[in-house]
Amino acid sequence: MKLHSFFRSSAAYRVRIALAVKGLAYETVAHHLRKEEQRRPEYRALNPQALVPTLEDGGHVLTQSLAIIEYLEEAYPETPRLLPADPAGRAVVRAMSQAIACDIHPLNNLRVLAYMKSAMGQSQEATDVWYRHWIGEGFAALEELAKRNSRGSSHCFGDAVTMADACLVPQMYNARRFQTDLAPYPTLVAISDSLERLPPFAAASPEGQPDAE
């Protein structure tokens, strides 16, 4: 497998965690987002959205981090599962994942921040406030969901690693990078701190990537 990635992309980081938890080997193809390498025609042919990650698995070209994780779950059923067995539990894990992947992260993407600076004349400070605002909105809801579903464990849901954990840790990394006040989210911080110490999460961290700066 080939993973088109950027060390700091939190969507790519989610997939790296999933691959590591499942013990699936892959080669990294790095695309430097600040240098807009993901906009090259060769990459756009693979992924018309010109976003990372993209996973190549044999002849299949997979895009969108959560779709890739669901694919790994279905195509490699013998590997550790990232979704619980029952439909209602799976729905909660997916909803927690999407609360990050739909309602926090896309608002804080590099292309969005760039648009607000160039087309809307916003300062670095204003976009930093925006960045933290959407983390705050999302984390406030996730804190409540984690309290309900982690049942005192060190995971977002139940007592095993799920797709929601693969979404939380990269979002927490971004929150810290932008100096977000994390005091209101003790459950999320405790879960993330514990997860970050697990070997698959450590292996997937931005600093551990071949293209890390």
**Considering the rule CB under 8 A, would residue 20 count as an interface residue with a second copy?**
no
Which of 35, 41, 42, 48 lies at the binding interface for a second copy (CB under 8 A)? Answer: 48
Q: Which stretch binds a second copy (CB under 8 A): 34-42, 132-140, 172-180, 184-192?
A: 132-140
Q: How far is CA 209 from CA 116, 128, 180, in A?
A: 29, 26, 24
Q: Where are the beta strands (DSSP E) in the chain?
A: 2-5, 27-30, 54-57, 60-63
Q: How far is CA 197 from CA 45, 69, 190, 193, in A?
A: 37, 21, 11, 7
Binding to a second copy (CB under 8 A) within 154-193 occurs at: none
- Asked whether the beta carbons of 173 and 13 are under 8 A apart, the reply is yes
**Considering the rule CB under 8 A, would residue 114 count as an interface residue with a second copy?**
no
**Considering the rule CB under 8 A, would residue 198 count as an interface residue with a second copy?**
no
Q: Which stretch binds a second copy (CB under 8 A): 16-24, 29-37, 82-90, 200-208?
A: 82-90
Which of 60, 151, 176, 177 lies at the binding interface for a second copy (CB under 8 A)? Answer: 60
**Considering the rule CB under 8 A, would residue 118 count as an interface residue with a second copy?**
no
* Chain centroid to CA 210: 18
Left, alpha or beta for 36 (phi > 0: left; psi -120 to 50: alpha)? left
Q: How far is CA 9 from CA 31, 54, 152, in A?
A: 10, 12, 30
SS3 175: helix
**Considering the rule CB under 8 A, would residue 50 count as an interface residue with a second copy?**
yes
Residue 213 beta carbon to a second copy: minimum distance, rounded to whole angstroms = 26
Residue ranges that bind a second copy, judged by CB under 8 A: 48-51, 60, 62-64, 66-68, 70-71, 74-75, 87-88, 90-92, 94-95, 97-99, 101-103, 105-107, 111-112, 115-116, 119-120, 122, 126, 129-130, 133, 137-138, 140-142, 144-145
